[in-house]
């Protein structure tokens, strides 16, 4: 006889007990592994989506609102043979059905129109059989589904017209067409493998893509040979790993780019003077910086002023230039031309005043005046070259008369007709009337769009080729934004840093796991109790306690391990069912993303190991407890002795504790009512105290029952009640477990916030605004009637597209969306925070800004906590690095977050409008709007806005609906928690049934006696059924009562929306499950002839 | 005028238990009857079937063959519920182990059989009186765990008598008691038999105790043999 033989014999002999252990281990393992598999499946799906949206693209250089030469891609490929590159013209716009299309009018406001060349498709794992040609488009499934179109159908694309100067710039062209409308015929619907999902945004939601021929799109948009997205990678699937090295890509790009790629051109004049200008009018800061490193560089800035006056003589609308003044011109003085000198009768030493528009960050023009002393008068011949050197402003330089001027700054129609000025325009065109030093001019007329319109080099500085080479060498390409981002690595990082769904589903399955372990523990403990005599005998025979415990552990663990095999398989099934449930009932939980089952052996191993550890802990605890009795007690196997009850003193203590808990519950509830707001958590505490109080009273009552005197009128129900006290600890344990589970599941699930309550208040998540609207195309104050309606007022917001950091994006946002707000306007409205805190809060956006450090607040608490996972605070707040335009890096300091769990700004970061325009000057106009109107009109107003501003790609919705769409995620998880928690409780009922069986087993002699003295079997069954139903029912009752205490005040105050029918169904199902199991246990365990047990004596 | 049937009558009763290689026959062709108000003791060596006999008489078990009549009613044809009613109203049991329910007081334990049916109005008073008769008036509110072995057995006797049974079956009631307590209980049972007028069948190993219960039968070879 060896230990091994002892163990194997015991396993075989007590196979029923071990079968229970196998089942328990399998159950725990299934739930643990299943939850982890769900997490894996979500992760894998997100990863698949991330890879599908990029195809073979490894790196990308994305320029917004500016363009580079498409030849850059070709040079890059020539430079580095391993690199495959393609230049894409990526535009945002509106995709719509043509007007003649039958059915409802449908359009997609945020469509991505991609002008691609044949080389683009090399990045697709599966090249489409035919690529779009002229006036043809390939669309993806989302576009096809949203618009209900198929190959052969026509599609209208409305795209924002590109303006060489940002629309907000003072001298940008305004009243020209804002959009370009194109009509295309759909030729194919692309699959994910055909790059139909192509997008750089870290988001699992499929974009609405329309692929067209690049050349055709460039012509239509008047962007010849230009692109704004450069993608690169190793199109060959067998490319060496070194190709993925980001350094290789960046170095190749550095080598091949040239200044013409970014619209910088050199012009040599007869005098040998070379001027560097930009097709975007204003030169990049980096170009200016680099150029000024070269000797003799003269920066110039040309501006249009409203008027130049001397005394009562004046001339309207005149070009002025800063920079190209004679070297002896003192700072602050001006050089004027002959025409102006004559017109104003001004000469050297005279004072002139110049009126000009100054553009505020909010795009409001403020007229300012500056006085100059005339230093010198230059002849018109001397000034002749300036006409050629002045930048060509579209809408200004290319019209015949002043009356045709078409620019952003306000112009007085009457003054535009000034005859003398018109004559000047006809004779001298853009020749500046006044020139001053560069520094003086920059201070007056520099804007956020730039401060240099030209760089001049005298002939002695070198010819254009020399200057081009020297400038090229001086410029840091990355400072111009000529830098690749490792988009593939970023996409995978976004997935890796996404929410831990395995952990989340483990949390949601908490009750299931706990219940399975409790069940397992009960099965094992009772199994051991049956073998108490064996333990006692081993003790009596002198076995050390450690060895006895080891024997039982070694006996249990192999069977537990055996249980892990079916457990792992069941876990996969559980995960599959969960995913089906998510897709069918709670799609919002994963933001509508269809998740496919993905099973990783490592995860199953992890789940199995975790389950084994849990089972081991439970078995160890059970073996520990089971063997702690004396040998005599164990041999006599008498575990059924009545609990002694509690002493009156202890009972009094219990009553005091229970009453204290009740008082605390009432106190906290009162405090909650007084506080009035943000009390969801508070009432949860109330419920918890209520629960403790209930359990305290129950414990005291059981203690009383165990020590009470005889009933004067004994009745069956009184005796049943007394039976509850027979095993006081067990009764209390069952009640506490099911009460706590019931309370937690019910109260958490019922605490669904009523977003409609206080939605009209400024300090709510809606900000008190009725409608939130976004447009696909930017809107400027002066070009849209959106701002002029008498029915509502609008707070416009600037938008820099980025990753959604809200709950609808399952990926971790890499570069969250930025919204520019006017903090002063927000503070004045007392919006999105308590009125008394509004000034201080919104002032955070303006506190201590520096050139590169921008204070920012997160859109709401959920975004900060879950979307970004970052700290916020004026001092302790985290920082986010952002690439601004022209490659300049900004750091957003997260100084705060809106003090709201949910707001219409979820997923975004707010900065002041001033900071926004400084960071992204070319982001013209406004693309988001808070519309102030009576809340009851929200729906009608949103519909009206969508209808009236369809051409802008308007997406307006009541703010409350927007909040509801965000909250749908939380609501889905609450519902899921309810169901999984309910399943856990139902499984807990299984544990209770085991207790019932144990009770019946322990009391078989009692049952036999009752049978012997004449209790009919049916009566015995009824008595046991009622008694045990009461045992489990009290827990449910206490839990439900505590949950009601927690929920009721909130329901009264309409702060939560309680789905009473679901809760009632859950309670009924729970109680039914418990009672059914009790009935089954009683029926099954009650012997046909109970009294026969007495015969065995 | 019809003849009053015996209180209990066993006709050709046999009882076998499954066993290897052949079934174990404990009782065979046993004929026996007991008139109301009479008192007998059954003795015999361990394993001879004394308790089996008592279980059959008390409707706790059914014979393999033969019939058992209680007050003229063939118990073989009665349903489980009818048998339960007979056990409750007409038969009282005293077991070797008291089988008191630990969660109830002594008084409540006595009243347990009453609660199997509709409680008689005077049940509480009778239970109190019975406990007093047993010398346990001051222990009515005590739990079984607070009583001595003799006291517990006396409570069990009171419980057996609460419904005024016509037949009291006592299966070695003194077996777990010391000699003094055993004598005391035997005295009590004799007195109660006289007071209540019920028939008593007591199974015992102790000849001295058996001698106090009138007629003695020895169970031998599966049959009851009267002893002189």
Complex ipTM: 0.80
From chain B, pick out residues whose CB is under 8 angstroms from the CB of A1091.
60
Enclosing H/E stretch for A465:
helix A464-474
A1015 part of contact set with chain B, CB < 8 Å = yes
What proportion of chain A, given as a percentage, has pLDDT over 70? 93
pLDDT in tens, A1062-1087: 778 878 888 888 888 888 888 888 87
Contact B116 A1010 (CB under 8 A): yes
Q: Which of A873-877, B84-88, B95-99, B126-130 has the highest mean pLDDT?
A: B126-130
Give the mean pLDDT of A798-808.
88
In terms of pLDDT, which residue wins out, A813 or B73? B73
Q: Where are the alpha helices (DSSP H) in A784-888?
A: 823-829, 838-843, 861-862
pLDDT in tens, A817-843: 999 999 999 999 999 988 888 999 999
In terms of pLDDT, which residue wins out, A959 or B112? A959
pLDDT in tens, A157-175: 999 887 777 777 777 776 5
Contact A1012 B104 (CB under 8 A): no
Contact A1010 B58 (CB under 8 A): no
Distance to chain B for A734, nearest Cα, Å: 19
Q: Between β-strands A179-190 and A136-140, what pairing exists: parallel, antiparallel or unpaired?
A: parallel
| Distances A1007 to A770, B55, B99, B110, B145 between C-alpha atoms, Å | 70, 16, 10, 16, 19
Distance to chain B for A630, nearest Cα, Å: 20
Contact B143 A642 (CB under 8 A): yes
Mean pLDDT of chain A: 85
Compute the distance between CA of residue B27 and CA of residue B16 in angstroms, rounded to an integer.
Answer: 7
Residue A640 has pLDDT above 50, yes or no: no
Burial class (CB in 10 A: 0-12, 13-18, 19+), A473: exposed
What proportion of chain A, given as a percentage, has pLDDT over 90? 29
Nearest to A711 among B88, B108, B163 (CB): B108
pLDDT in tens, A725-743: 877 777 887 888 888 888 8
From chain B, pick out residues whose CB is under 8 angstroms from the CB of A716.
115
Best of B27, B47, B53, B60 to disrupt the A interface (most A CBs within 10 Å) is: B60
Closest chain A CA to residue B106: A710
pLDDT number for residue A309: 94
Contact B102 A1097 (CB under 8 A): no
Distance to chain A for B95, nearest Cα, Å: 9
A1095 part of contact set with chain B, CB < 8 Å = yes
Lowest mean pLDDT among A160-164, A447-451, A594-598, A860-864: A160-164
Compute the distance between CA of residue A453 and CA of residue A450 in angstroms, rounded to an integer.
Answer: 8
pLDDT number for residue A646: 64
pLDDT number for residue A681: 65
Contact A1094 B141 (CB under 8 A): no
pLDDT number for residue A958: 95
From chain A, pick out residues whose CB is under 8 angstroms from the CB of B163.
1014
Q: Which residues pair with B17 in a beta bridge?
A: B24
Distance to chain B for A712, nearest Cα, Å: 8
Give the mean pLDDT of A258-266.
90
Q: Considering only residues 638 to 667 of chain A, which have any Cβ-Cβ distance to chain B shorter than 8 Å? A: 640-642
Contact A1016 B113 (CB under 8 A): no
Best of A702, A999, A1010, A1013 to disrupt the B interface (most B CBs within 10 Å) is: A1013
pLDDT number for residue A1053: 63
Contact A1094 B52 (CB under 8 A): no
Contact B108 A714 (CB under 8 A): yes
3-state SS record for A346-370: CCCCCEEEEEEEEECCCCCEEEEEE
Report pTM: 0.74
Lowest mean pLDDT among A154-168, A450-464, A962-976, A1056-1070: A1056-1070
Contact A642 B145 (CB under 8 A): yes
A710 part of contact set with chain B, CB < 8 Å = yes
Best of B50, B51, B89, B115 to disrupt the A interface (most A CBs within 10 Å) is: B115
Going by C-alpha positions, the residue among A302, A1030, A272, A1056 that lies closest to residue A702 is A1030
Residues 6+ apart with CB under 8 A from B163: A1014, B88, B89, B92, B113, B114, B120
Q: Considering only residues 722 to 751 of chain A, which have any Cβ-Cβ distance to chain B shorter than 8 Å? A: 722-723, 725-726
pLDDT number for residue B2: 52
Contact A1094 B105 (CB under 8 A): no
Closest chain A CA to residue B53: A1095
From chain B, pick out residues whose CB is under 8 angstroms from the CB of A1002.
none
**What are the φ/ψ torsions at residue A550 (nearest 5 degrees)?**
-65, -40
From chain B, pick out residues whose CB is under 8 angstroms from the CB of A1006.
99, 101
In terms of pLDDT, which residue wins out, A683 or A608? A608
From chain A, pick out residues whose CB is under 8 angstroms from the CB of B55.
1094-1095
Residues A645 and A725 sit within 8 Å (Cβ to Cβ): yes
Enclosing H/E stretch for A314:
strand A313-322
Compute the distance between CA of residue A684 and CA of residue A692 in angstroms, rounded to an integer.
Answer: 12
Contact A1091 B60 (CB under 8 A): yes
Residues A1086 and B51 sit within 8 Å (Cβ to Cβ): no
Residues A216 and A210 sit within 8 Å (Cβ to Cβ): no
Residue B1 has pLDDT above 50, yes or no: no
pLDDT number for residue A2: 66
The alpha carbon of residue A790 and the mean position of all alpha carbons in its chain are separated, in whole angstroms, by 36
In terms of pLDDT, which residue wins out, A231 or A239? A231
Going by C-alpha positions, the residue among A211, A92, A83, A238 that lies closest to residue A155 is A211
Give the mean pLDDT of A1049-1071.
73
Three-state secondary-structure class, residue B60: coil
From chain B, pick out residues whose CB is under 8 angstroms from the CB of A706.
103
DSSP A182-248: EEEEEEEEE-GGGTTT---SS-SSPPEEEEEEHHHHHHHHT-TTEESEEEEE--STT--GGGG-HHH
pLDDT in tens, B185-204: 888 888 888 888 899 999 98
Residue B50 has pLDDT above 60, yes or no: yes
A1022 part of contact set with chain B, CB < 8 Å = no
The alpha carbon of residue A151 and the mean position of all alpha carbons in its chain are separated, in whole angstroms, by 34
Give the mean pLDDT of A286-315.
91
Residue A679 has pLDDT above 60, yes or no: no
**What are the φ/ψ torsions at residue A1016 (nearest 5 degrees)?**
-70, 155
The alpha carbon of residue A939 and the mean position of all alpha carbons in its chain are separated, in whole angstroms, by 26
Closest chain A CA to residue B86: A1014
- Give chain B's contact residues with A (Cβ, < 8 Å): 51-52, 55, 58, 60-61, 80-81, 84-89, 93, 95-97, 99, 101-108, 111-117, 119, 124, 140-141, 143, 145, 159-160, 163
Distance to chain A for B137, nearest Cα, Å: 13
Contact A1006 B101 (CB under 8 A): yes
pLDDT in tens, A990-1043: 777 777 887 788 788 888 888 888 888 888 888 889 988 888 888 889 988 888
- DSSP state for residue A863 in the 8-state scheme: I
Contact A710 B107 (CB under 8 A): yes
Distance to chain A for B159, nearest Cα, Å: 9
Contact B93 A1005 (CB under 8 A): no
Best of B94, B96, B103 to disrupt the A interface (most A CBs within 10 Å) is: B103
Give the mean pLDDT of B67-76.
91
Cα three-residue angle A87-A92-A96, rounded to 5 degrees: 125
From chain B, pick out residues whose CB is under 8 angstroms from the CB of A638.
none
pLDDT number for residue A219: 94
pLDDT number for residue A364: 80
Could you tell me how many CB contacts below 8 A there are between chain A and chain B? Answer: 105
pLDDT number for residue B119: 60
Lowest mean pLDDT among A26-35, A195-204, A698-707, B176-185: B176-185
């Amino acid at each position: 006889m060896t230990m091994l033989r002892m163990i194997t014999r015991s396993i075989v002999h007590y196979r029923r007990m071990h079968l229970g252990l196998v089942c328990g281990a399998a159950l725990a393992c299934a739930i643990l592994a299943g939850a982890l598999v769900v997490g894996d499946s979500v992760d894998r799906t997100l990863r698949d989506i991330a890879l599908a949206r990029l195809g073979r693209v490894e790196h990308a250089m994305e320029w917004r609102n500016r363009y580079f030469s498409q030849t850059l891609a070709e040079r890059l490929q020539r430079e580095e043979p391993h690199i495959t590159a393609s230049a894409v013209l990526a535009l945002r716009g509106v995709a719509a059905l043509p007007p003649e299309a039958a059915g409802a009018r449908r359009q997609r406001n945020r469509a991505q129109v991609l002008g691609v060349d044949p080389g683009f498709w090399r990045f697709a794992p599966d090249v489409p059989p035919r690529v779009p040609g002229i006036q043809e488009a390939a669309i993806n499934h989302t576009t096809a589904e949203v618009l209900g179109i198929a190959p052969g159908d026509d599609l209208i694309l409305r795209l924002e017209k590109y303006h060489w100067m940002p629309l907000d710039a003072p001298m940008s062209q305004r009243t020209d067409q804002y959009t370009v409308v194109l009509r295309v015929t759909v030729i194919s619907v692309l699959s994910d493998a055909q790059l139909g999902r192509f997008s750089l945004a870290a988001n699992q939601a499929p974009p609405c893509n329309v692929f067209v021929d690049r050349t055709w799109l460039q012509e239509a948009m008047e962007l010849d040979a230009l692109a704004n997205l450069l993608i690169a990678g190793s199109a060959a699937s067998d490319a060496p790993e070194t190709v993925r090295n980001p350094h290789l890509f960046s170095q190749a790009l550095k080598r091949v780019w040239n200044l013409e790629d970014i619209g910088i051109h050199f012009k040599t004049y007869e005098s040998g003077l070379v001027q560097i200008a930009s097709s975007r009018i204003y030169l990049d800061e980096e170009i200016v910086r680099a150029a000024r490193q070269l000797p003799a560089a003269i920066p110039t800035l040309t501006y249009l002023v409203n008027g130049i006056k001397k005394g009562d003589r004046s001339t309207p609308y005149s070009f002025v230039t800063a920079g190209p003044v004679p070297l002896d011109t003192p700072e602050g003085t001006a050089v004027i031309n002959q025409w102006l000198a004559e017109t104003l009768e001004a000469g050297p030493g005279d004072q002139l005043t110049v009126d000009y528009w100054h553009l505020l960050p909010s795009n409001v023009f403020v007229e300012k005046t500056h006085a100059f002393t005339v230093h010198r008068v230059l002849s018109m011949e001397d000034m002749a070259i300036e006409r050629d050197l002045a930048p060509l402003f579209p809408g200004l330089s290319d019209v015949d008369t002043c009356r045709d001027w078409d620019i952003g700054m306000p112009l007085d129609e009457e003054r535009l007709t000034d005859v003398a000025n018109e004559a000047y325009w006809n004779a001298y065109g853009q020749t500046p009337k006044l020139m001053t030093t560069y520094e003086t001019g920059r201070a007056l007329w520099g804007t956020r769009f730039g401060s240099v319109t030209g760089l001049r080099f005298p002939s002695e500085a070198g010819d254009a080729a020399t200057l081009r080479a020297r400038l090229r060498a001086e410029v840091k390409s990355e400072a111009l934004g000529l830098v690749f981002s490792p988009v593939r690595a970023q996409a995978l990082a976004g997935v890796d840093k996404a929410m831990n769904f395995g952990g989340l589903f483990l949390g949601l399955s908490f009750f299931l796991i706990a219940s399975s372990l409790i069940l397992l523990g009960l099965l094992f403990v009772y199994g051991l109790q049956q073998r108490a005599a064996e333990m006692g005998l081993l003790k009596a025979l002198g076995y050390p306690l450690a060895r006895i415990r080891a024997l039982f552990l070694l006996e249990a663990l192999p069977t537990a391990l055996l249980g892990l095999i079916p457990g792992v398989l069941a876990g996969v099934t559980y995960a599959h069912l969960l995913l089906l449930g998510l897709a069918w009932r709670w799609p919002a939980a994963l933001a509508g993303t269809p998740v496919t089952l993905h099973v990783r052996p490592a995860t199953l191993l992890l789940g199995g190991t975790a389950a084994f550890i849990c089972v081991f802990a439970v078995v160890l605890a059970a073996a520990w407890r089971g063997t702690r009795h004396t040998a005599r007690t164990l041999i006599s196997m008498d575990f059924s002795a009545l609990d002694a009850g509690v002493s009156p003193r202890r009972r009094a203590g219990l009553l005091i504790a229970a009453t204290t808990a009740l008082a605390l519950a009432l106190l906290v509830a009162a405090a909650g009512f007084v506080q009035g707001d943000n009390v969801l958590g508070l009432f949860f505490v109330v419920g918890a105290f209520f629960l403790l109080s209930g359990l305290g009273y129950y414990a005291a009552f059981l203690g009383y029952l165990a020590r009470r005197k005889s009933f004067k009128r004994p009745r069956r129900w009184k005796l049943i009640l007394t039976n509850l006290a027979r095993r006081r600890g067990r009764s209390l344990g069952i009640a506490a477990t099911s009460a706590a589970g019931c309370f937690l599941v019910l109260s958490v699930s019922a605490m669904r916030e009523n977003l409609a309550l206080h939605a009209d208040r400024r300090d709510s998540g809606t900000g008190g605004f009725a409608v939130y609207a976004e447009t696909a195309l930017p809107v400027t104050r002066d070009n849209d009637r959106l701002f002029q309606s008498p029915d509502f007022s609008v707070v416009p917001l600037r938008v820099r597209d980025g990753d959604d950091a809200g709950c609808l994006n399952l990926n971790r946002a890499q570069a969250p969306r930025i919204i520019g707000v006017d903090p002063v306007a927000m503070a004045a409205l007392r919006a999105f925070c308590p009125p008394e805190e509004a000034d201080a809060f919104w002032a955070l956006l303006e506190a201590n800004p520096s050139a590169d450090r921008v204070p920012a607040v997160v859109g709401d608490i959920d975004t900060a906590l879950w979307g970004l996972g970052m700290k916020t605070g004026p001092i302790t707040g985290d920082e986010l690095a952002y690439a601004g335009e022209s490659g300049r890096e900004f750091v957003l300091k997260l100084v705060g977050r809106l003090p709201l769990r949910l707001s219409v700004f979820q997923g975004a970061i707010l900065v002041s409008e001033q900071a926004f325009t400084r960071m992204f000057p070319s982001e013209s106009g406004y693309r988001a709007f808070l519309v102030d109107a009576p809340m009851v009109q929200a729906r009608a107003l949103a519909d009206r806005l969508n209808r009236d501003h369809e051409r802008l790609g308007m997406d307006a919705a009541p703010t409350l609906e927007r909040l509801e769409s965000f909250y749908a995620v939380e609501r889905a998880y609450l519902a899921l928690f309810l169901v999984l928690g309910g399943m856990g409780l139902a499984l807990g009922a299984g544990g209770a049934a085991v207790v019932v069986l144990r009770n019946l087993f322990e009391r078989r002699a009692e049952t036999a006696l009752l049978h012997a003295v004449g209790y009919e079997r049916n009566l015995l069954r009824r008595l046991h059924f009622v008694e045990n139903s009461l045992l489990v029912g009290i827990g449910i009752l206490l839990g439900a009562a505590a949950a009601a205490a927690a929920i009721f005040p909130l329901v009264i105050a309409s702060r939560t929306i309680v789905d009473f029918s679901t809760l009632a169904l859950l309670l009924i199902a729970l109680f039914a499950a418990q009672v059914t199991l009790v009935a089954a246990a009683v029926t099954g365990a009650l012997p046909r002839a109970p009294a026969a047990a007495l015969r065995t004596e | 005028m019809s003849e009053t049937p015996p209180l209990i009558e066993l006709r050709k009763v046999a009882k076998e238990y499954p066993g290897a290689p052949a079934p174990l026959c404990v009782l065979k062709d046993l004929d026996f009857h007991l008139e109301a108000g009479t008192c007998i003791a059954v003795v015999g060596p361990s394993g001879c079937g004394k308790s089996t006999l008592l279980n059959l008489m008390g409707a706790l078990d059914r014979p393999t063959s033969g019939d058992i009549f209680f007050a003229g009613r063939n118990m073989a044809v009665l349903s489980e519920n009818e048998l339960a009613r007979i056990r409750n109203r007409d038969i009282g049991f005293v077991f070797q182990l008291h089988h008191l329910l630990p969660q109830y007081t002594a008084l409540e334990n006595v009243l347990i059989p009453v609660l199997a049916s509709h409680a008689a109005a005077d049940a509480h008073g009778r239970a109190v009186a019975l406990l007093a008769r047993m010398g346990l008036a001051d222990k009515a509110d005590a739990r079984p765990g607070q009583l001595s072995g003799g006291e517990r057995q006396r409570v069990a006797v009171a419980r057996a008598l609460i419904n005024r049974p016509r037949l009291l079956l006592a299966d070695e009631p003194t077996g777990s008691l010391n000699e003094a307590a055993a004598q005391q209980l035997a005295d009590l049972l004799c007195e109660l038999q006289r007071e209540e007028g019920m028939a008593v069948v007591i199974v015992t190993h102790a000849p001295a105790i058996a001698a106090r219960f009138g007629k003695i039968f020895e169970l031998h070879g599966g049959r009851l043999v009267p002893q002189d």
